[in-house]
Amino acid sequence: MDRATICVQGGYEPKNGEPRVLPIYQSTTYKYDSAAELAKLFDLESPGHMYTRISNPTVDSVEKKVAELEGGVGAMMTSSGQAASLISVFNIASAGDNFIMMGNLYGGTTNLFLVTMKRMGIEARVVNPEMSDEEILSLFDDRTRLFFGETIANPSLAVFDFDRFVPLAHSKGVPLIIDNTFATPILCRPFEHGADIVIHSSTKYMDGHAVVVGGMIVDGGTFDWTKGGKYPELTEPDESYHGVVYTESFGKSAYITKARVQLMRDLGSTPQPIAAFLLNLGLETLSLRIRKHSENALAVAKYLETRSDVIESVSYPGLESSPEHARAMKYLDDGLSSGVVSFSMKGGREKAMKFMDSLHLASIVVHVADARTCVLNPASTTHRQLSDEMLKEAGIDPGFVRFSVGIEDVKDIISDIEGALACL
């Protein structure tokens, strides 16, 4: 089926007389006829739900839909994108291990990887595209467990170079985990480009209406965990599960099964059934919305390019002038690049704040990827404590504006920007 159809109908097939719309199974627990049947579930010998911390029918349907959209063998929803990032790495890395991360990841992910996971004894090593292959390969050692990147980086909007980084990771025997949040499976299917695990903050375009925080991990089912002896968590008996060996018992689904029955069981970053229900409503229109977001954003980016009188630079992969354009055309459907446009105002932080205050239709929020156009200036908000000099060191221009183009009529969005620029 086409992805537009999966968005609407995937994951839930009501039988005769059952509700047409995916029901919210608001139950923490499930009833069984005999103790023996339940015991089989606990032995992971038969499928079924035992407790909502681990799985739930509403959540399960949405996981199936996203797995189908990405082309993976299974998915697990989490309470947030942060939880998805943490579990995706922690599932195959333990204290003493390390992994490679791109330097342009979302700020929250960077913090999690460089500060919090360091306290768990797991070290993240940072690479950037300017480094040579040799320099990147020299960061790997026999404790390196994975390579982590973002399809369209938030907020630099760099497009991940799958054809360069996938062979580097695989040559060292480690999987690529890719955060596909901004592209969504409508614009990019990372498994088709060699990625092994996909994660999402479903809080962004997947929900798309700014109503529910959530995350998703999808297993491509193609990585061979048994080669090289690097993944004892998957290939050796799990003491906490009376000796199950995930690769032997679950084959292609070893990674995602372990993430659920071991880490979700222990860490408990479980989504509520209503969160899955709300996410599902968002997913139903995802394929329509992400195209509209992208078309509107390209028009906005083109307009901003004509305003070099007040705007220093515009960054949007869909622009022909963008250094990311070739990669956008290669990896994103029709070069559609999502709704986020970044630009730098001439005159720094002060002008950026004045511009934002003068907008009417676009609202100032700490969010992106909403149906409603919204805007954020990192220098005056999320990075407020930093001086202009410290900002530059962190690669953030004080006049940098992250503009998330919504699905309103694009003429109205552009005239809002035009009006605000006139106020400067």
C-beta closer to ligand PLP: residue 204 or 349: 204
Phi and psi angles of residue 104, each rounded to the nearest 5 degrees, phi first:
-105, 25
Closest by CA to 63, choosing from 80, 42, 78, is 78
Q: Which residue lies nearer to ligand PLP by CB, 97 or 150?
A: 150
Q: Is residue 213 near ligand PLP by the rule CB under 6 A?
A: yes
Q: Does 104 bind ligand PLP (CB under 6 A)?
A: no
- What binding mask, one character per residue, do residues 157-186 give for ligand PLP by CB under 6 A, x or -? ----------------------x-x-----
Burial of 188 (0-12, 13-18, 19+ CB in 10 A): buried
- Pairing between strand 400-404 and 374-376? antiparallel
| Cα–Cα distance, 90 to 334 (Å, whole number) | 35
Q: Residues near 419 by Cβ (< 8 Å), separated by ≥ 6? A: 358, 359, 360
Q: Does 81 bind ligand PLP (CB under 6 A)?
A: yes
Applying CB under 6 A, among 150, 207, 233, 416 the residue interacting with ligand PLP is 150
Instruction: Please report whether residue 108 would count as binding ligand PLP according to CB under 6 A.
Output: yes
Residue 87 CB, nearest approach to ligand PLP (Å): 12
Burial of 137: CB neighbours in 10 Å, binned 0-12, 13-18, 19+? middle
Cα torsion through 206, 207, 212, 213, rounded to 10:
20
- Residue 106 contacts ligand PLP per CB under 6 A: yes
378 with 399: CB under 8 angstroms?
no
Only one of the segments 76-84, 284-292, 296-304, 307-315 lies at the binding site for ligand PLP (rule: CB under 6 A); that segment is: 76-84
Our finding on whether 203 is near ligand PLP (CB under 6 A) is: yes
DSSP H or E segment with residue 99: strand 98-102
Q: Which is nearer to ligand PLP, 182 or 343 (CB)?
A: 182
Pick one of 65, 204, 230, 402: the residue that binds ligand PLP (CB under 6 A). Answer: 204
Q: Is 87 near ligand PLP (CB under 6 A)?
A: no
Q: In whole angstroms, how close is the CB of 57 to ligand PLP at the nearest point?
A: 23
- Shortest Å distance, C-beta 105 to ligand PLP: 7
Q: Is 408 helix (H, G, I), strand (E, B) or coil?
A: coil
77/420 with CB nearer ligand PLP:
77
**402 touches ligand PLP (CB under 6 A):** no
Q: Are 317 and 328 in contact (CB under 8 A)?
A: yes
Least distance in Å: CB of 109 to ligand PLP? Answer: 5
Contact 80, 203 (CB under 8 A): yes
Determine if 201 is a binding residue for ligand PLP (CB under 6 A).
Answer: yes
Judge contact between 318 and 152, C-beta under 8 A.
Answer: no
Q: How many residues bind ligand PLP (CB under 6 A)?
A: 15
Site for ligand PLP in 215-234 (CB under 6 A): 215
109 binds ligand PLP (CB under 6 A): yes
88 binds ligand PLP (CB under 6 A): no
Residue with smaller CB distance to ligand PLP, 103 or 108? 108
What's the closest the beta carbon of residue 32 comes to ligand PLP, in angstroms? 34
Query: Which range of residues in 14-22, 197-205, 376-384, 411-419 is near ligand PLP by CB under 6 A?
Result: 197-205
* Shortest Å, Cβ 156 to ligand PLP: 11
Q: Does 82 bind ligand PLP (CB under 6 A)?
A: yes
Give the contacts of 60 (CB within 8 A, at least 6 positions apart).
49
Count of Cβ atoms closer than 10 Å to residue 287 Cβ: 20
Q: At a CB cut-off of 8 Å and minimum separation 6, what does 120 contact?
A: 90, 95
Question: What's the residue count for the chain?
Answer: 424
Residues at the site binding ligand PLP, with contacts judged by CB under 6 A: 80-82, 106, 108-109, 150, 154, 179, 181, 201, 203-204, 213, 215
